[in-house]
Amino acid sequence: MANSYSQRRIRKIVRRFGLIPLRSESVASFYRKNAIIRVQTESGSYAMKPFYRSLLLRSGTIDQIKTTADYIQFLMNSGFNNMPKWLKSKDGRIWILNQGRPFYVTAWIHGRKLETPADFEKLGRALASLHSSRFLSMNSTFFDHIHLWKNRDRLFRSRMTIANQANLWTHRWFKRFGASCIQFSDRTWTELKTPEIANLLKKEMVRPALIHNDITAHNVIISNNGQLFIIDWDHMKLGSIYVDLAITLMNTTQFNPVFMHSLLKGYEELRPLNHAERKLISALYRLPREAWHIARFPDHPRSRNMLDIMEQTWLLRLRAMDVLDEWANSGPN
């Protein structure tokens, strides 16, 4: 939303969760101006958040918030303690509808960002704990990231010429790095066809796990008492734990080998990975997802920023790929 929420609307929403607000303020995210409303009450601070549907799913907003609420309730009942406490509304649900938009309220987590190897070990353990949660339902639908990524890779290849013609800076970038991106993808698709990895993916589709689907450095907080919290669960779904782990490695570790190994160490403390699983994670990490986005939206301002970041970190990315390849090859058979 472009405009801030009125104080009257904020009071009306949070009172349905049993809160009496003293003051509130909008907090921006990387994508939205009013991503979260921080609400101060006599009992502490809370996060009031509008729920946005995933455009990748065919279902409507209400169906998506109902499904997400089921997942969240399942995690709370399972004792998962790496997400903020969700408040229940006066009607017993963990979300309400206001002016056609779903909203939910959680505790506000005071803390800091990921900084140390120990922080990344905590993140690895939290992710492994999440991936160990098996949500069983007759209506469960597996979200196939790999199928989606293959389509985006095909679109990337077909639009490279268009992207090259869009403007000088995209032309220069694709001329320098485009062929390498295609080579990375080709190598990954080849590895995913090997029998051991293909079998992994087939088994996962039969019995998927809950994934967060959007773990970034901004979505992880180390609280003042040292506990790790993952926030922003709007896009959680049943999907591939290997995709979720690969995305988390890319989005949080800054291509730092120490942080990467720390995250993986924490993960394997709770959920050890065999050789095939390690190979799959390394292969998925290699995919140039940012380049795919840039080819889809070459004139978008954010694409220019992404190109600059990719160029500045290119050598670090190559080293990070090597680090994961070494890790994958050192795993148990």
Q: What share of the chain in percent tops pLDDT 90?
A: 74
Q: Which helix (H) or strand (E) holds 211?
A: strand 209-211
- Domain range summary for the chain, segments of one domain joined by +: 7-57+85-108, 117-329
Structure tokens at 119: 């922080």
pLDDT of residue 34: 65
Report whether 236 contacts 213 (CB < 8 A).
Answer: yes
Task: With cut-offs at 50, 70 and 90, classify the pLDDT of residue 212.
Answer: very high
C-alpha 180/C-alpha 89 separation (Å) is 51
Task: With cut-offs at 50, 70 and 90, classify the pLDDT of residue 2.
Answer: very low
Please report how the helices 241-252 and 275-285 are oriented relative to each other, as an axis angle in degrees rounded to 10.
50
C-alpha 112/C-alpha 91 separation (Å) is 34
Q: Which residues contact 95 (CB under 8 A, 6 or more apart)?
A: 51, 65, 69, 89, 102, 103, 104
C-alpha 29/C-alpha 130 separation (Å) is 24
pLDDT of residue 138: 52
Higher pLDDT: 175 or 19? It is 19
C-alpha 47/C-alpha 86 separation (Å) is 10
pTM attached to this predicted model: 0.93
Report whether 105 contacts 17 (CB < 8 A).
Answer: yes
pLDDT of residue 35: 77
C-alpha 278/C-alpha 274 separation (Å) is 6
Phi, psi of 15 (to 5 degrees): -65, -25
Report whether 84 contacts 47 (CB < 8 A).
Answer: yes
pLDDT of residue 295: 82
Whether the per-residue pLDDT at 41 is higher than 50: the answer is: yes
pLDDT of residue 1: 40
CATH 3.90.850.10 fits 117-329, yes or no: no
Best mean pLDDT range from 24-33, 51-60, 250-259: 250-259
Q: What share of the chain in percent tops pLDDT 70?
A: 93
pLDDT of residue 134: 77
pLDDT of residue 333: 66
Q: Which helix (H) or strand (E) holds 18?
A: none
pLDDT of residue 168: 67
3-state secondary structure string, 44-96? EEEEEEECCCCCCCCCCHHHHHHHHHHHHHHHHHHCCCCCCCECCCCCCCCCE
pLDDT of residue 189: 98
Higher pLDDT: 226 or 3? It is 226
- Which residues partner with 96 through β-bridges? 103
Query: What are the DSSP calls for 298-324, one per residue?
Result: TTSHHHHHHHHHHHHTHHHHHHHHHHH
Task: With cut-offs at 50, 70 and 90, classify the pLDDT of residue 186.
Answer: very high
In this chain, the answer to whether the domains covering 7-57+85-108 and 117-329 adopt an identical fold is: no
Topology (CATH level 3) of domain 7-57+85-108:
Phosphorylase Kinase; domain 1 (3.30.200)
Each residue's pLDDT tens digit, 294-327: 888 877 778 888 888 899 999 999 999 999 999 9
